Structure 1
């Protein structure tokens, strides 16, 4: 298995001769409006994709499936909706299936609990995209556990550290966990994605998973930087994989 961080939460999984694109946000820099009610008004995404148009076209033509944890625009933007091949299998949470079908995708596969595809078992997990009323407003969101005969990968999705994350790690004891950090926050309320403290709790979980932290430096209300997270993890005497855009992780 290899994992490439393309940008933000957009990942490319190369696994068992399959290529799976996760949470595609494929638009150019500044192509999305700012996230409202944040501490700045910078347009999104704040960085370009780490590939040119030709490389992006090659990527799209090589895909075997798409996984969408939820349809917030930083995980499923208008560009992705326009350019992704319509016939590809699209795994999603049940609440998003109708919208994806209406957008023209012909092989939408909602995962209620779990399903099998090729040599993989795909299981949906829960999460909390914030606390209180904001968390309720941002719902529903899901994580997904992908397993083959040898490796278990848990993509936690847009969630803070919460009982659903603990349950997923207790149940599946994944080899790798991808967490969406960035400590995204509005002017009111608590962070809606993982803070440095949340990431450290994930690293310290008894499953002893290797933690891959993404979802930083791209969207205007994500205020935890890669550098700050790396410093916090190091100060705690721990380690995590904090990739840069375009970087490959060899599992």
Structure 2
């Protein structure tokens, strides 16, 4: 498989001969205002440019997976630029309706047994932060596991913190590759919305033989964990060889 970091949570996964675009945020740098209640209120989003043209990002894509409909995972630019007949996978019927309402015609809700072109796609659980009030505010999220006889097992965790649900997914699917959203993005009042360095360390301890790829870093105003800090922490904790921390535009063949 090939996994290419585009920007933020946007990645392109080439798996068993098919090309998936996950969580597309395709706007130009500075298109949207900063997220309210967060740090860096002087910084518009996205805070960095795409590493390549939008045409190159979406060229040859067979399907799009949107783990949830927050702006930094499926923005207005993606809604306008993606072909309206492209295969779209979403997490529930409510979001399927929203995606159809902006013009997409081929929308499917991910299940535990979804199959696309011979590839098994398994919807996984997640929690977009900690505490009942924050979880209610942030809403439902998901991840996805990819399985095919010709490939290693890939788990894209999505916008989740470390909690027992992630442990359960690791125990159930035993992935070889784990993509985590690892920028420790935060609301000032509520704390972390996605994984920070300690969460990622827990993922490593739970799946010590897996390779972790940390994305969703340094691209929207409310990140708090830098690539450099995560690299230093991973070295300190002894799992630097088990983690990849891609720059935007970086491609891994695994």
| 8 Å contact kept, 2:4–2:251 | yes
Which residue number in structure 2 is paired with residue 222 of structure 1?
A: 223
Map of 1:61-100 to 2, 5 A cutoff? 61-94=59-92, 95-100=94-99
Which residue number in structure 2 is paired with residue 237 of structure 1?
A: 238
Task: List alignment gaps of at least 5 residues for structure 1.
Answer: none
Within 2, Cα distance between the matches of 1:93 and 1:135?
A: 16
| 8 Å contact kept, 1:3–1:248 | yes
Which is worse superposed, 79-88 or 111-120? 111-120
Within 2, Cα distance between the matches of 1:223 and 1:59?
A: 27
| 8 Å contact kept, 1:125–1:142 | yes
| 8 Å contact kept, 2:123–2:145 | yes
Report how far residue 211 of structure 1 moved: 0.4
| 8 Å contact kept, 1:65–1:90 | yes
Which residue number in structure 2 is paired with residue 127 of structure 1?
A: 126
Which residue number in structure 2 is paired with residue 175 of structure 1?
A: 176
Within 1, Cα distance between the matches of 2:57 and 2:156?
A: 21
Which residue number in structure 1 is paired with residue 161 of structure 2?
A: 160
Task: List alignment gaps of at least 5 residues for structure 2.
Answer: none
Within 2, Cα distance between the matches of 1:61 and 1:87?
A: 14
Map of 1:22-41 to 2, 5 A cutoff? 22-41=22-41
| 8 Å contact kept, 2:6–2:249 | yes
Which is worse superposed, 169-178 or 144-153? 144-153
Report how far residue 203 of structure 1 moved: 1.1
Name the SS of the counterpart of 2:187 in structure 1: coil
Which is worse superposed, 222-231 or 8-17? 8-17
Report how far residue 136 of structure 1 moved: 2.0
| 8 Å contact kept, 1:127–1:159 | yes
Report how far residue 228 of structure 1 moved: 0.5
Name the SS of the counterpart of 1:62 in structure 2: coil
CA deviation profile, 1:13-50 (whole Å, cap 9, x unmatched) = 11222111000000000011111001221100000000
Which residue number in structure 2 is paired with residue 136 of structure 1?
A: 136
* RMSD of equivalent CA atoms: 1.1
Number of residue pairs matched by the alignment = 248
Q: Which runs of 4+ in 1 moved over 4 A?
A: none
Does residue 60 (structure 1) correspond to residue 58 (structure 2)? The answer is: yes
Flag the 1:58–1:228 CA change in 2: closer, same or farther, 3 A.
Answer: closer
Q: So what's the TM-score if we normalise by structure 2? A: 0.95
Within 2, Cα distance between the matches of 1:112 and 1:206?
A: 24
Which residue number in structure 1 is paired with residue 9 of structure 2?
A: 9
Report how far residue 164 of structure 1 moved: 1.1
Within 2, Cα distance between the matches of 1:20 and 1:111?
A: 14
Which residue number in structure 1 is paired with residue 111 of structure 2?
A: 112
